[in-house]
Each structure stands twice: as C-alpha cells, then as structure tokens.
Amino acid sequence: MGSVTFDGVSKVYPGAKGSPSTVAVDDLSLEVGDGEFLILVGPSGCGKSTALRMVAGLEKISAGEIRVDGERINDVPPRDRDIAMVFQNYALYPHMTVAKNLAFGLRQRKTPRAEVSARVAAVSSTLGLDELLSRRPGQLSGGQRQRVAMGRALVREPRAFLMDEPLSNLDAKLRVQMRAELKKLHHRLGTTTIYVTHDQVEAMTLGERIAVMNAGLLQQIGVPQDVYDRPANVFVAGFIGSPPMNLLRGTVSGTTVSAGVFSFARPGLADGPITIGIRPETFRPTTEAGTVGPSIDLQVDVVEPLGDEVLVHGTLDARAAQSGAEAEDAVLLAETSTRAPVTVRLAPDSRPAPGDRMPLTADPMAVHLFDASSGDAIR
C-alpha cells in the first residue's frame, strides 16, 4: 500500500521548431492517501492522463516531484515503481493466453513458479476468469477483456493502481455493472487507486475524492458531494453534474442580482457583472407549494421524460455565460443569442408541451454566484 504525492508537478512538451511548447500539467500538487480512491476528472486534453502516466513512469516529469510512500520516484524506472496500470484499451498481450497475461508481471519479477500460479488462481477466481484462462484476448468479449486487464493489475499486489478510463470502451449497461464491482473490489483490497475519467458520473459515483482538472490546472479537489454542492469556480460548476449547471450572465446593483427578466436579493456583493449558476433541479414550477424566489418564464423547446424525472430544455430571457467546459458550437451560439438555453429537472408528473411558456422559480439561497471575470465562486 502506498500514498501518492504530487508536489508542484509540471509536464511541458517542447514544441517543434518555431512553435511554442505545450504545458500539459501545470504545477499540480495533491496528495492521494494510503488506500484512497481518487478520481482525476476533466475534459479531454486537460492533463489528467499525463498526470497518471507520470506516476507510472511512462512520461518524464518536467518539474516538481512525485513521491510514493514518501519516496521520490521521478527517476525510478517504471518496472521498479511497484505500480500497476489498467489501460483504456486494456493492452492485453494478444499472443498470450489469459493465464500468461496475468502471470507476465510476476514472471518478470522472478516470482517462484508455485506462487505465480497460486496468485493467478486467486485473482482469476476473484474476477470470475477461471473458465477463460486458456483463451486468448481475441476470443474474449469486451467485458471479459476488461476483467483480465484488471486482473493483470491485481495479481501483482502493487502499492497503487492507476486506471486510465478503464470502463470507457464498455457499453453503458456493462459500465454500470463494472463500476459497482470496481467499488466493491476497492473496498475489499483497500489499494490506493488513481482513476482517470472524463465521465463525471463515473467520477461522482466511484471516487472517495475527486480532483477536477482543466487545461493542466487543478481546479478543485474534494469529496464528490462537496464538489457538486460547492463548486470552487465556474468551470467545475459547468463540468460536474449531468445535465450541467445552467449559467447566466447577471448584474449586481445594490443588494439586487438580476439576469434578464428576473432578479432576487442578495446583500453584500460589489456592483457589476456576475455569473449566476442554477442547477437543473433547483428550478421548481411556481404551481408547487412552498416555493420561494423570483418568477422565471421558461420557453419550453424539448421535453425528455426519463421515467423517474422529466428533463425540460428551453430558453429564458437572459444571456448565457460560459464555464469553459462546453462544446465550441454551444459557446458560439451563446455569444450571439439573447436567450439563454436552460435545462430544468422536474418531477415525472409535470409534462409541459413544447412551445409552452412555463412559470418557474428558483430558491435564491440555492443559486450559485461566480465572479464574472475570474470565475471563482462567491460564497
């Protein structure tokens, strides 16, 4: 078992002649406790995989220090780090049987033959691979390959597991199942795990703590619910949560915060522009009993009944703000439109029709506010 510490770690890729160098990871400092399950989450290209590969030793560390159990591993070759990694495409050796795939790491470490077979047997029964031991990766289904990849990491009993989007090649149903199994497995083994994903649902459900990254920078680290409830900045607010938080451009004047046609009171803010964030579930129909807050008219475009809830996509009379987590065309649309797209999550019994004008409200205390220029949360 081991703790993993990032201490001011940076990764800079020198650019080709004439072009500037790229900073993939920028001064990353965080500590993964012994036995912890930490999720590195962020959009693609945010540096999360690079951070993971630096721990594995597959990328050189440009600056800073990575320590495992307090031991500096910057210059330790991958094979001496005692760390196992699960790759997104599993990277099973195609010409070896499942048994040989599992045993490969132990064989390289000159483990006695009897112990190798004992450990392979133990892991394969844990993961239900007994029947598959003599098959080759090509004869396995996606889920089975994923298990073998996991088994290859488990069998080595390393100080830490690194997982690079291990579930992203599975279909949705299998993914949910493997997610639960992974959680159970970690509970039982208690091995330190760093898990990289771009899927914020995976992050929320799996992690003991999640670290949100964007553009090489650590945005926020914390318990999933905390990150969801109190996003540190507008990026985290827009990235964590599905559907994402609705972000609107607002202004503060005196004690009033207003955006387009609605406004509410919030004392203690400096006058000027502000970003307003409202989670889809914060909206309530005004017809519901006990609602407080300003009245907001939603122009309904699309209604998605999901069984246990209804997602309503529409627009309201305000300008949209950006978190930096949106797709490019969404940004362009928001720049030009005077109506902000908004997603609302409602109880399954409310069924507005497309084209309807739906009166909604949102509890001002549950509304998030962010500095319009820095994006930092205002609390």
Where on the chain is the footprint of another protein (CB under 8 A)?
Answer: 56-58, 77-79, 81, 83-85, 87, 89-95, 101, 104-105, 108-109, 136-139, 142, 145, 152, 156, 169
Nearer to another protein, 199 or 309 (CB): 199
Comparison of 32 and 56: residue with beta carbon closer to another protein: 56
Closer of 82 and 281 to another protein (Cβ) = 82
Residue 108 Cβ vs another protein, minimum distance, rounded to whole Å: 4
Quick one: 87 or 291, whose CB is closer to another protein?
Answer: 87
Closest contact distance (angstroms) between CB of 42 and another protein is 21
Q: How far is the CB of 137 from another protein (least distance, A)?
A: 4
Q: Please give the structure tokens belonging to residue 179.
A: 């997610």
Helix (H, G, I), strand (E, B) or coil at 200: helix
* C-beta closer to another protein: residue 165 or 202: 165
Alpha helices in 141-199 (DSSP H): 142-154, 172-189
For the bound state, the minimum distance from the C-beta of residue 351 to another protein, rounded and expressed in Å, comes to 40
Please, what is the minimum distance in Å from the beta carbon of residue 23 to another protein? 21
Q: How near is the Cβ of 149 to another protein at its closest, in Å?
A: 9
Q: For another protein, which is the closer residue by CB, 152 or 279?
A: 152
Which DSSP symbol is given to 280? G
> Of 138 and 254, which has the nearer Cβ to another protein?
138
Cβ closer to another protein: 19 or 336?
A: 19
Q: Give me the least distance between CB of 17 and another protein, in Å please.
A: 13
CB of 105 to another protein, least distance (A): 4
